[in-house]
Amino acid sequence: MFLGTYTPKLDDKGRLTLPAKFRDALAGGVMVTKGLDHSLAVYPRDEFVVLARKAASASRSDPAARAFVRSLASGTDEQFPDAQGRITLSAEHRRYANLAKNCVVAGSVDFLEIWDLETWETYLAENEENYSTAAGEAVGEIV
């Protein structure tokens, strides 16, 4: 599971160091794609394959489903972490997530999210007060 929050810096070549505790789980390759709320989603390759196959099984006659599959497939980049655990984020991914230098890597159970630090802090400030309410509504009896 991917849990916790980390604050790596993006280097001048667009490389980001993934947290050391996740490197074994990500050694087989990662798929970086556009996430929600202008973040990036980083999936272990095998986990992404399951997600992509589910998406691809949606009805091709549904315009929204076609748009989602196209966006997912065209906006995904396969990366293999180097010996230092770094991945290179494409210029398009950096633009989409507004990444410059200070980043946040946040665990999201079965994948990681990469955020611009300022955007992450704003998101937390806007959503932390609603955590208790959202927990009941979003996950019901689990919490």
Is 32 part of a structural domain of the chain? yes
Q: Is 78 exposed, middle or buried (0-12, 13-18, 19+ CB in 10 A)?
A: exposed
Q: Per the domain annotation, does 128 fall within a domain? A: no
More confident residue, 142 or 88: 88
**Per the domain annotation, does 131 fall within a domain?**
no
Judge whether residue 132 has pLDDT over 70.
no
Asked if residue 143 has pLDDT above 60, the reply is no
Indicate the pTM of the whole model.
0.88
Query: Stretch 113-138: mean pLDDT, rounded?
Result: 83
For residue 125, tell me if it sits in a domain: no
Closest CA relative to residue 28, chosen from 79, 83, 89, 88: 79
Domains held by the chain: number: 1
In a domain, 29, yes or no: yes
Q: Can you give the residue range of the structural domain that contains 51? A: 5-116
Residue 97 lies in a domain: yes
- Residue 51 forms part of a structural domain: yes
**Residue pLDDT, tens place only, 27-56:** 899 999 999 999 999 999 999 999 889 888
When pLDDT is cut at 50, 70 and 90, the band that residue 59 belongs to is confident
Collapsed DSSP state (helix, strand, coil) of residue 27: coil
Q: Could you tell me the CATH number of the domain that includes residue 71? A: 3.40.1550.20
Phi (first) and psi of residue 18, to 5 degrees: -75, 150
Average pLDDT over residues 6-26: 95
Q: What is the pLDDT of residue 137?
A: 64
pLDDT band at 57 (very low <50, low <70, confident <90, very high): confident
Q: List b or e across 113-129, with b for residues whose CB sees 16 or more CB atoms inside 10 angstroms.
A: bbbbeebbeebeeeeee
pLDDT band of residue 142 (cuts 50, 70, 90) is low
User: Do the domain assignments include residue 127?
Assistant: no
Query: What pLDDT is recorded for position 58?
Result: 82
